[in-house]
Structure 1
Amino acid sequence: MNKVRKTISPDGTGDFKTIKEAINSIPLYNTKRIVLIIKPGIYEEKITVPRTLPFVTFLGDASNQPTITGNDTASSFSGRGGTPLKTFQSATVAVDADYFIAINIKFENTAPHEVGSKGTQAVALRISGTKAAFYNCSFYGSQDTLYDHKGLHYFHNCFIQGSVDFIFGYGRSLYERCYLNSVAKKVASLTAQKRSNSSLASGFSFKDCVVNGSGMVYLGRAWGDYSRVVFSYTYMEKIVLPQGWSDWGDQKRDSRVYYGEYKCSGPGANWTRRVPWARILTDKEAWPFIGTYYVEGETWLINP
């Protein structure tokens, strides 16, 4: 596939000063890979990559990642009708297009989470397109940092920070060699996966990751009745609660969710006090989750 490269720099030395201008320059239903080279700097922009713009790459500098930052929350008011944005529209960057790639980019939502308050969901990135990949990216937020909404997604060597449900959605995603950092002020959850029926091919798989931080967390809580999350070969610090998993107060979910662990290590991986409905996976049970084939990567992943 031919590539078209465009440069974005806040100081005016590139093709564009803002990311939004660069996106607006892409022809609808583009069939070429468009590489937006985003120079180091802070971009205070609210970005949407619409469904009509597939094959877009955000490429930053590995040694000095550009930051795309915002502070909208679910309770922020939209400028148009004056109605609350809600979680879906709170994202600093929203990607509705397929075949999106991000490399060396920092996605950020600076809105704080206040314990006990409502409407403080504040998404740094929402990915709703399918066949999307993120390499060496970082995601900073508090409540609902990364909205892994729907589609096939691959995250490699990424840093993801949050407090409450900071990876959530219906996505079918593989997180490989990622660092999950909790800043929870009280007991919270790393994931809230929303698989809603047993035939839905969705779920989060974490392989060769690290779970660390300053606030106590469950590995996941069941947003969907058939929530599915697997951790394999992952190092877990003692911030992981001994029970490991939460049914979000609905015991009917205990027999429906699929929460598995496979060859994990560290003090947080101690199995002795896990909830009885979590699973220690066998080699055969773990195999479907521990390669890029889990996200059908052989059909779409490319060397970045």
Structure 2
Amino acid sequence: MKGRNAKKGNRETAAVRLTVSKDGDGAFKTVQEAVDALPEYSRDRKEIFIKKGIYKEVVHIPATKPFVTLIGESKTGTVITYDNYAGKEKEGGGRYGTSGSATVFIYADHVQAENITFENSFDRTKVDTDGTQAVAVYAKGSRIVFKDARFLGRQDTLFANDGTQYFDQCYIEGDVDFIFGGARAVFEHCHIHSADRGSAANNGYITAASTHITKPFGFLFAGCTLTSDAADGTVYLGRPWHPGGDPDAIASVLYQNCSLGAHIKPEGWTDMSGFSAADARLYEYRNTGPGAVPHQERRQLSDEEAESWTIENVLDGWNPKIES
């Protein structure tokens, strides 16, 4: 890892440590106050420890503040939450839109987060709007690591927009396109839960990747478990997203050695906004479980093809298990 910090084992000694606590037992009462207090352009690791509590706020980690680590006291007890949504009117005019609806925005590189719940608590049943997208985390930086984190929402929960991102043993929940974007991202040993929309035919889509054609890899789900309370055969593995109709956004997704619940549709993938799933790079390899059924529309990689889908290749030469 770059920087001047000493390491203890595989963990660094942070140059700066700040504590956030809602009860006043820390230097800051909000996460954003702690982020604002960090120095800019420092390549030393900065650590923000967040005590248990519900932190209702919108958090921005700007590109000028890389090498930040957020550590929660409790994965379920430390919650950063807000309820903005795409159709919500902003005070200065206009609407938030999908990209602006996030609870947490990460633009910086080398950010780490562990033992925290990120939530968008918008309840679409209580608002009459056509903009129900509500993002929990918007991530655009490179070499971002999430470990033992939870991402809660419904539509568009996790926006992995760009950069390189690694999700280790995380829990991600939603219903429509709830893992989406153009980043190169690895989800390893994660729990992917599709919320039940109450439909007998279509309970949503897990991914909506928008990988640019110049990127050889998009989303890799390795050893993940896919679950749902929805009816059997009602959830798609994903569909190809072409933002603004961009023809060069050719979705790239691989589910590898994953356990697929019975909620997964037999055909696996579907089209989106006039763009065909068959034209995208949507694959599987050695999945198991009741949702892993043979189907002509579910393309399986050969052993030789799957060999190129290593963590390091997907993440553009970065191995997060060695360096961040």
* TM-score w.r.t. length of structure 1: 0.92
Distance 1:270 1:52 in 2: 47
Structure 1 unaligned blocks of 5 or more? none
Instruction: Provide the alpha-carbon RMSD of the alignment.
Output: 2.1
Q: Give the letter for the 2:24 counterpart.
A: G
Q: Residue 237 of structure 2 is aligned with which of 188, 194, 219?
A: 219
Q: Residue 110 of structure 1 is aligned with which of 121, 124, 129?
A: 121
Cα deviation per residue 1:65-116 (whole Å; 9 max; x = unaligned)?
Answer: 410000000011222x121010101000010111110010100001134599
Q: Give the letter for the 1:7 counterpart.
A: T
Q: Give the letter for the 1:282 counterpart.
A: S
**Contact in 2 for aligned 1:113/1:121 (Cα 8 Å):** no
The 5-angstrom pairing of residues 47-66 of structure 1 reads 47-62=59-74, 64-66=76-78
**Contact in 1 for aligned 2:155/2:174 (Cα 8 Å):** yes
Change (3 A) 1:71 1:251: closer
The 5-angstrom pairing of residues 196-207 of structure 1 reads 196-197=212-213, 199-207=214-222
Distance 1:266 1:51 in 2: 41
Q: How far did residue 204 of structure 1 move?
A: 0.5
The 5-angstrom pairing of residues 1-304 of structure 1 reads 1-2=4-5, 3=14, 4-62=16-74, 64-79=76-91, 81-113=92-124, 118-185=130-197, 186=199, 187=202, 188-197=204-213, 199-215=214-230, 216-224=234-242, 225-248=249-272, 250=274, 252=276, 254=278, 256-271=279-294, 273-275=295-297, 278-296=298-316, 298=318, 301-302=321-322
**Contact in 2 for aligned 1:232/1:290 (Cα 8 Å):** no
SS at match of 1:246: coil
**Contact in 2 for aligned 1:133/1:301 (Cα 8 Å):** no
Distance 1:135 1:303 in 2: 14
* More deviation, 229-238/63-72: 63-72
SS at match of 1:76: coil
Percent identity of equivalent pairs? 36
Q: Any runs of at least 4 consecutive aligned residues in structure 1 with deviations exceeding 3 A, and if so which? A: 62-65, 113-117, 249-253, 296-304
Q: How far did residue 168 of structure 1 move?
A: 0.4
* More deviation, 122-131/284-293: 284-293
SS at match of 1:289: coil
Distance 1:147 1:298 in 2: 21
SS at match of 2:177: coil
Change (3 A) 1:301 1:26: farther
* More deviation, 1-10/285-294: 285-294
Distance 1:117 1:76 in 2: 8
Structure 2 unaligned blocks of 5 or more? 6-13, 243-248
Distance 2:208 2:49 in 1: 33
Q: How far did residue 138 of structure 1 move?
A: 0.2
Distance 2:263 2:210 in 1: 23
Q: How far did residue 298 of structure 1 move?
A: 4.1
Distance 2:274 2:79 in 1: 39
Q: How far did residue 251 of structure 1 move?
A: 5.9
Change (3 A) 1:302 1:36: farther
Distance 1:116 1:230 in 2: 36
SS at match of 1:261: strand
**Contact in 1 for aligned 2:311/2:319 (Cα 8 Å):** no
